[in-house]
């Protein structure tokens, strides 16, 4: 059998280039582990792909907030000087052992870290997927808020993504409606208050959107509120009804997850499979924040170092 070249064997393979993956990779490399980081899309996770222009209000050290893509650029500068091998490849499979198969090659590693995050949940209503194609009116966040200037936009959901989307659109959209299926919200109270106080968002509570209508793009929405059916003309709809884990490449491994597929870990970020760790939004955490993702990276790297190098103090951690 052909043996793998040095470039194909690592101490640590991190799958996913959001903050949890980046920080795990950087901190492992700082401890002189040989690390590869695989990302099939853009580095920086949701901050780069979903909301590059959003001002992140709660990252320590930036009291006025910082634009998401600026934060990502800083992380990437850090990554560049860390010694981590970055590979723009799609991980197709991870086998116990640990072999990682991508769309280009096979690799071996002592540790695999799953940091593939989440994607927006689909609502599953008629016309949603047809109109979610470029510019047809279904979005999962206003990634380029300026595109909504003068538009009639309807946001669905009662979590932080929905409330943040409504706040992003204030002073841009002509009309903002937010539909939530309950009376109260699960988003941060402070931001819900900002939405309420703005006087610019029409709140439809105990309501539900059941269909999207239009010929080539979104034109109208059909809603139900307390048994009544309503129709509303809109230019765009923002669906923010939660997140689902990106776990396709790992499903067969027998990882312990919750009922929604989020990976269970112990306090060292270890999964139930030997050598496999998980960090960030794909794990079962009550709080999905970038500061939590960064902390997962620090915790995981510490325990990965112990696992790979087996220093004398390892059993204390």
Give the Å distances, CA to CA, from 27 to 22, 62, 205: 8, 22, 45
Task: Report d(CA 68, CA 54) in Å as an integer.
Answer: 6
117 touches 45 (CB < 8 A): yes
> Would you list the DSSP string of 138-193?
EESS-SSGGGGTT-EEEEE-SSHHHHHHHHHHTTTSSEEEEEESSSS--S-HHHHH
Nearest approach, Cβ of 182 to ligand NAP (angstroms)? 5
Residues that bind ligand NAP (CB under 6 A): 58, 123, 156-162, 164, 181-182, 186, 208, 240-243, 287-289
168 touches 50 (CB < 8 A): no
Which C-beta is closer to ligand NAP: that of 71 or that of 253?
71
Task: Report d(CA 280, CA 125) in Å as an integer.
Answer: 29
Which C-beta is closer to ligand NAP: that of 21 or that of 275?
21
Task: Report d(CA 11, CA 236) in Å as an integer.
Answer: 47
Nearest approach, Cβ of 141 to ligand NAP (angstroms)? 9
Q: Which residue is nearest to ligand NAP (CB)?
A: 159
Q: Token digits for 287? A: 């709080």
Say how far residue 10 (Cα) sits from the centre of its chain. 26
Nearest approach, Cβ of 148 to ligand NAP (angstroms)? 18
Nearest approach, Cβ of 206 to ligand NAP (angstroms)? 10
Which C-beta is closer to ligand NAP: that of 29 or that of 47?
47
Which C-beta is closer to ligand NAP: that of 1 or that of 287?
287
Which C-beta is closer to ligand NAP: that of 111 or that of 240?
240
Nearest approach, Cβ of 180 to ligand NAP (angstroms)? 6
């Amino acid at each position: 059998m052909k043996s793998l070249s040095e470039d194909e064997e690592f101490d640590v393979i991190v799958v996913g280039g959001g903050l949890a993956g980046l920080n795990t990779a950087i901190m492992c490399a700082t401890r002189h582990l040989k690390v590869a980081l695989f990302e099939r899309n853009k580095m920086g996770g949701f901050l780069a792909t979903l909301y590059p222009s959003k001002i992140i209000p709660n990252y320590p050290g930036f009291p006025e907030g910082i634009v998401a893509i600026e934060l990502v650029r800083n992380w990437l500068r850090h990554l560049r000087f860390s010694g981590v091998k970055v590979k723009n490849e799609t991980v197709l499979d991870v086998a116990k052992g640990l072999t990682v198969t991508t769309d280009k090659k096979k690799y071996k590693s002592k540790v695999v870290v799953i940091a593939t995050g989440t994607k927006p949940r689909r609502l599953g209503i008629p016309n949603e997927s047809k109109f979610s194609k470029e510019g047809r009116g279904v979005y999962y966040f206003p990634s380029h808020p300026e595109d909504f200037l003068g538009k009639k936009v309807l946001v669905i959901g009662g979590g932080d993504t929905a409330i943040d989307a409504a706040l992003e659109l204030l002073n841009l959209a002509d009309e903002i409606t937010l539909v939530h299926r309950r009376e109260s919200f699960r988003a941060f109270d402070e931001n819900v208050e900002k939405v309420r106080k703005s006087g610019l968002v029409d709140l439809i509570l105990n309501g539900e959107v059941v269909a999207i209508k239009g010929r080539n793009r979104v034109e109208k929405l059909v809603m139900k509120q307390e048994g009544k059916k309503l129709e509303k003309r809109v230019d765009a709809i923002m669906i923010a009804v939660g997140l689902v884990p990106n776990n396709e490449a790992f499903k067969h491994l027998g990882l312990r997850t919750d009922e929604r597929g989020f990976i269970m870990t112990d306090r060292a970020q270890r999964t139930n499979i030997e050598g496999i760790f998980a960090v960030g939004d794909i794990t079962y955490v009550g709080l999905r924040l970038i500061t939590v993702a960064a902390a997962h990276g620090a915790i995981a790297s510490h325990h990965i170092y112990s696992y790979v190098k087996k220093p004398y103090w390892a059993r204390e951690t």
